[in-house]
DNA sequence: CGCATACAGTTGCGCGTATAACTAATGATT
DNA sequence: AATCATTAGTTATACGCGCAACTGTATGCG
């Protein structure tokens, strides 16, 4: 076929390298984080993620839809996920006054404690696996460039 | 602790924003890509990834271990993945002369065609979902900063 | 030469997620 | 008030991945 393979001209424009970087960085760092959380806290990353979002929400509560919006999973997966975390006593569901369809997921004290225990190590893991691989200047650039992908938490105070 | 990095000792130091950016960008772009590949080519992203790696390898062939090293999955998952892609006729296995343990995965003509059909659209999808969200300067910076995560294909020419 | 160790890849199993169909409540339209 | 469309969340099913144990081959060592 016409295209010559090994040449970087066709198969890899510059912006594609950026994407590949995101792809690989993500994969490697996620693995490290999961390894750490599982080994030290018996905590799946998905649990940690949910706990973290709740912990930084006002009143430590979020609706299912709010959770899934910001999150890496879909609504469907979230139901079971919250089930499991709930069974472990780290969150609980509460009805919402005024909308009988909705449910709030609330962080329990046990959940907050679990999260706080894991947080520092998680931070250290990200630092070691991710940010230590680049200069401050660079991570600032990366943060700025990818800022637009971050779903802002729009929370009415 | 030894390091109090540049001021913000709160919940989000600057390098953490960079990581969050990677996390979110990855999630969103991956979704878009998967949606496109599935809708237009009935091709899971993992298949496309394998086909692409093979397509850009000399002789369009790679060992299982080479595939898994560079890739986003582990060896175990790869066996089944290659099974499925093989059943679809896009790759095939071949024994390696001189090492009866090893197996080469080889791209078939059908596999190459499938990949090439999907490649352009994939490229366009990444461009639209990822790189159009930032300036050329920025994606260059991102590419540079995350370069170290990319497992280089060390291929003796 | 015979046994132990390391390596390449595959298989059994369990778990978690996504897709789609479903229940239930809300809101809009008439 | 009755109906239709929309939204919130759950459930049924299937599929893909990772972990750990297993087969078979290669290599090291006494």
pLDDT of A47-73, one tens digit each?
A: 998 999 999 998 999 999 888 876 667
Chain B nearest-CA distance from A12, in A, is: 10
Using an 8 Å CB-CB cutoff, list chain B residues near A146: 18, 21-22, 24-25, 134, 142
Closest CA to A142 of B25, B6, B21: B21
Q: How many Å does it take to go from CA B63 to C1' C6?
A: 18
Using an 8 Å CB-CB cutoff, list chain A residues near B25: 22, 146, 149
Tell me how far CA of residue B19 lies from CA of A28, A148, B38, B147, in angstroms: 12, 13, 28, 15
Coil, strand, or helix at residue B44?
A: coil
Residue A37 neighbours by CB distance under 10 Å = 21
Please list the ranges in chain B whose pLDDT falls under 50.
Answer: 1-11, 153-157
Instruction: Look up the CATH architecture of domain A17-149.
Output: Orthogonal Bundle (1.10)
What does A47-109 look like in DSSP terms, one character per residue?
HHHHHHHHHTSGGGEEEHHHHHHHSSS-HHHHHHHHHHHHHTTSEEEEEPTT-TT-EEEEE-H
Q: Report the helix count and the strand count for chain B, using DSSP H and E.
A: 6, 3
Q: Which helix (H) or strand (E) holds B95?
A: strand B91-96
Q: Are B63 and B96 in contact (CB under 8 A)?
A: yes
> Hey, what are A42's tokens?
């018996």
Q: Are B5 and B13 in contact (CB under 8 A)?
A: yes
Q: Mean pLDDT in each 10-residue stretch from start to end of chain A (157 residues)?
A: 32 78 84 86 90 92 85 80 93 91 94 94 90 93 90 43
Strand D, CB < 7 A, residues 54-93 of B? 72-74, 76-77, 80-81, 84
Using an 8 Å CB-CB cutoff, list chain A residues near B127: 15
Coil, strand, or helix at residue B129?
A: helix
Across the interface, which of A14, A21, A126 has its CB nearest the CB of B146? A21
Residue carrying the six token digits 């009866």:
B100
Q: Could you tell me if A106 lies within 8 Å of chain B, comparing CB atoms? A: no
Please tell me the distance from the alpha carbon of residue A66 to that of residue B37, in angstroms, as a whole number.
28
Ramachandran region, residue A89 (left: φ > 0; alpha: ψ -120 to 50; beta: rest): left
Q: Which nucleotide is nearest to B77 (CA to C1')?
A: D17
> Which residues on neighbouring strands pair with residue B94, listed in sequence order?
B104
> Hey, what are A156's tokens?
């009415």
Q: What is the CA radius of gyration of chain B?
A: 19
pLDDT value of residue B16: 85
pTM higher than 0.85, yes or no?
no
Q: How many residues are present in chain B? A: 157
Residue carrying the six token digits 């979002």:
A53
Residue A87 neighbours by CB distance under 10 Å = 9
Residue B4 neighbours by CB distance under 10 Å = 9
pLDDT value of residue A21: 87
Q: Is the CB of B101 under 7 A from strand D?
A: yes
Residue A75 neighbours by CB distance under 10 Å = 12
> Which residues on neighbouring strands pair with residue A95, listed in sequence order?
A103
Please tell me the distance from the alpha carbon of residue B72 to that of residue B153, in angstroms, as a whole number.
14
pLDDT value of residue A151: 65
Please tell me the distance from the alpha carbon of residue B57 to that of residue B68, in angstroms, as a whole number.
14
């Amino acid at each position: 076929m016409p295209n010559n393979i090994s040449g970087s001209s066709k198969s890899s424009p510059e912006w594609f390298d950026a994407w590949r970087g995101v792809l690989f960085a993500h994969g490697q760092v996620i693995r490290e984080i999961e390894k750490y959380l599982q080994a030290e806290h018996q905590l799946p990353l998905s649990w940690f993620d949910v706990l973290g979002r709740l912990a930084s929400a006002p009143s430590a509560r979020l609706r299912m839809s709010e959770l899934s919006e910001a999150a890496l999973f879909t609504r469907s997966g979230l139901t079971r996920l919250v089930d499991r975390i709930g069974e472990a006593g780290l969150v609980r569901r509460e009805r919402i006054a005024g909308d009988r369809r909705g449910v709030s997921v609330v962080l329990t004290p046990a959940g907050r404690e679990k999260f706080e225990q894991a947080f520092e190590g998680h931070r250290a893991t990200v630092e070691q696996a991710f940010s230590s691989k680049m200069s401050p200047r660079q991570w600032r650039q990366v943060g700025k460039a990818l800022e637009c992908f971050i779903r802002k938490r729009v929370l009415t105070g």
